[in-house]
């Protein structure tokens, strides 16, 4: 326990330096911005700003990128409540009751409960990260190549199961990502793969062009072709950001429940903010004495999912930081950011770079505190931003995409790649193929191949090594069970129900 406080002290020492406080603030501000603005999400934003972190200390860069991710969870609720349009996918369910509250003249209360619930969830989840990361990293350190390979298989399968839509398509998307990750020179044999003689491809495809193209440009193209319905902004109805006693009494248990379910789901591979929010809403509706209130402005329908999505966003850092396994697309980008800074992601990060790890954890708590200030008193500023029409906004998105990719290497090649991935992103959207599993496969691909090769060398080519090692076997059984469970018709129905709510 003394260790725990020593670590936290170290962390706050790092997070409280003016530079890092500044970057945490910038991250939270940008996060709120992209959260508020529909049509641009945290994945594309993190990818755009990632190249800029080359110019920063690793810890400052990661603090900023993390702030964007959890800041977006706060901002997303503002748009959901005031415009009845999700700023982020994780705030889709907040629209249902949040916007009704706004119509009933309780917009201020809805915004307040979303921000305070998120703050509570953020604090709790940060504490969980601090408590559970060290033991988990210990477990990770005992893993050899076969265990790591099996863990990644489990991670990818779980990501597929928890993504919505067709499971087979999601697995195929993972494979597409793995194949894209292979492009370039094979590190082990020196042979070129899928480079078609182009020297420029021998270094491989960067994950920044892939992420910006698919998640940023693809989205812009889709929005221009089928415009969103007209926004109806309820600004005149924000009267006081306070809850009545009755509202508080109804909201806080929902907030606590949302925090717990979000924290649990966030740790799972494939989990994170969106799934947590959906689960939080379904739970509140199931537990309510009078479920018919939902959809008409029930405050629990805002408190539950909003706490859940923030808790889930935060705890999804746990597997990324302790095992080097990304559970969602943003975490995959964080893994990429670590690698770019020359830090090998995995359990050794915590022991070899304690200042980086604990500095990030401490900054998350500070960031949550900043976010309450950014979101509640400054709400008027964000409302003004919502008045900017999309036909102007997308030009800004295009420019930030362009600058982000161009500054990677100051050459046009990566921008052309991004443009191509943008078209791919639009095609995938139209065909209902989830791009997130592809990004996970893309990032994990090289690591998986490396561990597969090592495992095969240890066992002299016997694939039974994955089954003879108990931990590896356990992980593979878990993966198989997950696939089996979702294949059962009863569970499949439930899975669709969770994602179809609202």
Partner 1 sequence: MSGGTAAKTTPQQFLRRKDVLAGLMFIGVAAFGLWASRNYPIGTAVRMGTGYVPRLLCWILLGLGCIVFIQGFRASAVTLEPSPPIWRSVILIPASLVVFAYAIGPLGVIAAIVLLVVVGSLAGKDSRLVEVIAAALVLIGLTLLVFVWGIGLPIPVWPEWW
Which of 43, 44, 114, 220 contacts partner 1 by CB under 8 A? 220
Which of 40, 93, 160, 217 contacts partner 1 by CB under 8 A? 217
Between 138 and 492, CB nearer to partner 1: 492
CB of 198 to partner 1, least distance (A): 12
Q: How many CB atoms lie within 10 A of CB 210?
A: 26
Residue 432 touching partner 1 (CB under 8 A): yes
Instruction: Please give the angle made by the CA atoms of 57, 71 and 247, to the nearest 5 degrees.
Output: 150
| Beta-strand runs (E) in 282-395 | none
Q: How many CB atoms lie within 10 A of CB 411?
A: 11
Residue 399 touching partner 1 (CB under 8 A): yes
CB of 282 to partner 1, least distance (A): 24
Would the CA dihedral through 263, 267, 272, 277 be positive or negative?
A: negative
CB of 226 to partner 1, least distance (A): 6
Stretch that binds partner 1, among 156-164, 230-238, 285-293, 389-397 (CB under 8 A): 389-397
In angstroms, what CA-CA distances link 36 with 72, 162, 240, 382? Answer: 7, 25, 20, 7
Which of 398, 467, 483, 486 contacts partner 1 by CB under 8 A? 398
DSSP notation for 19-65: HHHHHHHHHHHHHHHHHHSTT--HHHHHHHHGGGGGGS-HHHHHHHH
Is residue 209 a contact partner of residue 417, using CB atoms and an 8 Å limit? yes
Which of 207, 278, 294, 394 contacts partner 1 by CB under 8 A? 394
* 39-78 binders of partner 1 (CB under 8 A): 52, 55
Which of 2, 3, 18, 226 contacts partner 1 by CB under 8 A? 226
DSSP notation for 147-164: HHHHHHHHHHHHHHHHSS
Closest alpha carbon to 272 in 219, 330, 324: 330
Residue 22 touching partner 1 (CB under 8 A): no
Residue 402 touching partner 1 (CB under 8 A): yes
Residue 1 touching partner 1 (CB under 8 A): no
C-alpha 485/C-alpha 491 separation (Å) is 7
C-alpha 209/C-alpha 191 separation (Å) is 24
Which of 9, 203, 396, 485 contacts partner 1 by CB under 8 A? 396
Helix (H) or strand (E) holding 193, with range, is strand 192-193
Stretch that binds partner 1, among 7-15, 98-106, 182-190, 467-475 (CB under 8 A): 182-190
Residue 194 touching partner 1 (CB under 8 A): yes
Binding site for partner 1 (CB under 8 A): 52, 55, 166, 168-169, 171-172, 175-176, 178-179, 182, 186, 188-189, 191-194, 196, 217, 220-221, 224-226, 389, 391-392, 394-396, 398-399, 401-403, 405-407, 410-412, 415-416, 418-420, 422-423, 426-427, 430-433, 449, 452-453, 456-457, 460-463
């Amino acid at each position: 326990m003394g260790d725990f406080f020593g670590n936290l002290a170290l962390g706050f020492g790092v997070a409280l330096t003016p530079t890092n406080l500044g970057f945490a603030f910038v991250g939270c501000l940008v996060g709120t911005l992209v959260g508020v603005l529909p049509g641009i999400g945290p994945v594309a934003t993190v990818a755009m700003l990632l190249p800029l972190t080359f110019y920063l200390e690793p810890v400052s860069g990661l603090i900023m990128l993390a702030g964007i991710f959890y800041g977006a969870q706060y901002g997303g609720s503002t748009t959901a409540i005031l415009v009845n349009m999700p700023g982020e996918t994780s705030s889709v369910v907040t629209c249902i009751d949040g916007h009704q509250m706004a119509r009933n003249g309780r917009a201020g209360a809805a915004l307040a409960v979303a921000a305070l619930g998120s703050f509570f969830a953020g604090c709790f989840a940060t504490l969980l990260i601090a408590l559970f990361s060290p033991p988990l990293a210990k477990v990770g350190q005992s893993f050899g190549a076969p265990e790591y390979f099996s863990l990644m298989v489990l991670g990818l399968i779980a990501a597929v199961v928890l993504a919505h839509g067709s499971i087979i398509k999601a697995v195929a998307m993972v494979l597409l990502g793995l194949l894209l990750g292979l492009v370039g020179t094979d590190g082990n044999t020196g042979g070129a793969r899928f480079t078609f003689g182009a020297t420029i491809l021998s270094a491989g495809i960067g994950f920044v062009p892939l992420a910006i193209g698919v998640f940023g440009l693809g989205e812009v193209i889709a929005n221009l072709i089928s415009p969103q319905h007209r926004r109806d902004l309820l600004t005149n109805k924000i009267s006081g950001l306070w809850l009545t006693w009755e509202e508080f009494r109804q909201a806080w248990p929902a907030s606590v429940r949302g925090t717990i379910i979000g924290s649990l789901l966030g740790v799972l591979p494939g989990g994170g903010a969106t799934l947590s929010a959906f689960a939080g809403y379904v739970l509140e509706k199931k537990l309510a004495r009078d479920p018919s209130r939902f959809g008409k402005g029930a405050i629990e329908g805002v408190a539950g999912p909003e706490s859940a999505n923030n808790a889930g966003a935060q705890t999804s850092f746990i597997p990324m930081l302790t095992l080097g396994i990304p559970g969602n697309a943003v975490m995959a980008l964080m893994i990429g950011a670590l690698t770019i800074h020359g830090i090998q992601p995995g359990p050794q990060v915590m022991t070899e770079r304690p200042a980086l790890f604990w500095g990030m954890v401490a900054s998350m708590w500070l960031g949550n505190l900043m976010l309450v200030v950014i979101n509640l008193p400054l709400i008027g500023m964000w409302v003004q931003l919502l008045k900017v029409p999309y036909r102007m906004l997308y030009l800004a998105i295009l420019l930030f995409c362009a600058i982000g990719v161009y500054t990677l290497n100051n050459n046009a090649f990566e921008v052309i790649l991004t443009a191509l991935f943008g078209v791919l992103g639009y095609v995938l959207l139209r065909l209902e193929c989830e791009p997130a599993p592809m990004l996970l496969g893309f990032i994990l691909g090289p690591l998986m191949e490396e561990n597969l090769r090592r495992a095969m060398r240890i066992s002299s080519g016997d694939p039974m090594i994955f089954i003879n090692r108990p931990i590896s076997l356990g992980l593979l059984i878990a993966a198989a069970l997950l696939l089996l469970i979702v294949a059962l018709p009863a569970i499949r129905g439930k899975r669709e129900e969770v994602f179809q709510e609202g």
